[in-house]
Amino acid sequence: MHSRTTRNLAAAAALGLALAGSAGANPVDETLEVTTDDGTITLTTTAPAPDHLKDAFDTIYSGWHYRDTETRNMERDDFDNPGMVFVDIAREKWDAAIGKNGESCAGCHDGPESMAGLRAVTPRVDATTGKLMIMEDYINTCVTERMGLEAWGTTSKDMKNMLALIALQSRGEIVNVAIDGPAAEYWAKGKEIYYTRYGQLEMSCASCHQDNAGNYIRADHLSQGQISGFPVYRLKDAGLVSAQQRFVGCVRDTRAETFKAGSDEFKALELYVASRGNGLAIEGVGVRH
């Protein structure tokens, strides 16, 4: 009690913010309604935990619930969401004849709306190739095989902008990645990575996002580490951050040798982490700090 007051005072002094006296460790109990060009939509940012996660959580929460008021509000209106600029840039790319023979995304797929629903079911094992595909893999397959270009870097601007445009087409759709059948082995591998304590600090994803979700590690309010909001616009980086990129950052912070963005390990991890969010809505482009 006493120490909580100390935190609030210190934080208020440091940030010049007026913090609610009852600020606690828990995710805020609020609803994410987003004003869009097509009216207001309500996003499912809390849900009962999926069956495979019931031993850890009763309820799952989007990371949106753990951010401060100002950051949360930025996601409430597309006009205030800094991530939307990148969606617009990607929309131009989508239509542009960038391929070696003048191909464009639009030429094969019509409008980006044709991608509706995809973000909610990826990563997934592709029916034709039998491989685990993250969205970046789908995009790069088109970029290289169908457009004859060099692959886009996994965390390049072109890639992240396109991730944002495609994710936005599934905004409001409920995450439902498959974890059985051909996905089962990847899922198991991702789960193993999630619970492995890496690095000189010997910390796993679960150490922070399961055992300590809701607690503060220094100034950071630990969320459940969900990726339904990804890619997110991160105020700290003043740019988009993809899930793959976030994993790199989190593992680096354990004083570990990270896996590479787009590696088999992080693809499996993304499937597993996505499955912990089965039941939450895709946010399109979240805003985090």
Partner 1 sequence: MKSRVWLASLVAVAAAMPLAAETAPGDVTYVEGAVPESLSGSAGDADAGAKIMTTNALGNCVACHQIGAMPDVPFQGDIAPALDGVADRYDEAQLRGIVANAKMTFDGTFMPAFYKTTGFIRPGDAYTGKAAPEDLPPILSAQQIEDVVAYLLTLKE
Return the bridge partners of 32, or none. 43
Q: DSSP string spanning 81-113? A: -TTHHHHHHHHHHHHS--STTS--HHHHH-SGG
Q: Which of 34, 134, 175, 248 binds partner 1 (CB under 8 A)?
A: 248
Site string for partner 1, 37-56 (x = CB under 8 A): --------------------
Decide if residue 245 touches ligand HEC (CB under 6 A).
no
Q: Which is nearer to ligand HEC, 122 or 226 (by Cβ)?
A: 226
Q: Which is nearer to partner 1, 170 or 254 (by Cβ)?
A: 254
Q: What distance in Å separates the CA atoms of residue 216 and residue 10, rounded to the nearest whole number? A: 14
Decide if residue 92 touches partner 1 (CB under 8 A).
no
Q: Which is nearer to ligand HEC, 179 or 273 (by Cβ)?
A: 273
| Shortest reach from residue 252's CB to partner 1, in Å | 4
What's the token pair of residue 87?
A: 């969606």
Decide if residue 20 touches partner 1 (CB under 8 A).
no
Q: Which is nearer to ligand HEC, 148 or 249 (by Cβ)?
A: 249
Q: Which is nearer to partner 1, 11 or 98 (by Cβ)?
A: 11
- Phi first, then psi, for residue 169 (nearest 5°) are -70, -20
Residues 6+ apart with CB under 8 A from 195: 204, 205, 206
Q: Which of 203, 227, 269, 274 binds partner 1 (CB under 8 A)?
A: 203
What's the token pair of residue 262?
A: 């787009």
- Phi first, then psi, for residue 60 (nearest 5°) are -105, 145
Decide if residue 123 touches ligand HEC (CB under 6 A).
no
Decide if residue 254 touches partner 1 (CB under 8 A).
yes
| Shortest reach from residue 91's CB to partner 1, in Å | 33
Q: What distance in Å separates the CA atoms of residue 170 and residue 157, rounded to the nearest whole number? A: 21
> Of the listed pieces 78-86, 119-127, 197-205, 270-278, which binds partner 1 according to CB under 8 A?
197-205
Decide if residue 34 touches ligand HEC (CB under 6 A).
no
For residues 185 and 270, is the Cβ–Cβ distance under 8 A?
Answer: no
Active site residues: 250
| C-alpha radius of gyration, the chain, whole number | 19
User: What CA dihedral angle connects 282, 285, 287 and 289, to 10 degrees?
Assistant: 100
Q: What distance in Å separates the CA atoms of residue 123 and residue 262, rounded to the nearest whole number? A: 12
Picked from ligand HEC, partner 1, none, the partner binding residue 205 (CB below 5 to 8 A depending on kind) is: ligand HEC
Q: Crossing angle for the helix pair 264-275 and 243-252, nearest 10 degrees? A: 100
The size of the interface with ligand HEC (CB under 6 A), counted in residues, is 26
Q: Crossing angle for the helix pair 184-194 and 264-275, nearest 10 degrees? A: 90
For residues 239 and 252, is the Cβ–Cβ distance under 8 A?
Answer: no
- Phi first, then psi, for residue 35 (nearest 5°) are -85, 120
> Of the listed pieces 78-86, 131-139, 182-190, 199-207, which binds ligand HEC according to CB under 6 A?
199-207
Contacts to partner 1 by CB under 8 A:
2-4, 6-7, 10-11, 13-14, 25, 196-203, 207, 211-212, 215-219, 248, 251-258
Interface residues with ligand HEC (CB under 6 A) are 63, 66, 203, 205, 207-209, 217, 220, 222-223, 225-227, 229, 232, 243, 246-247, 250-251, 253-254, 269, 273, 288
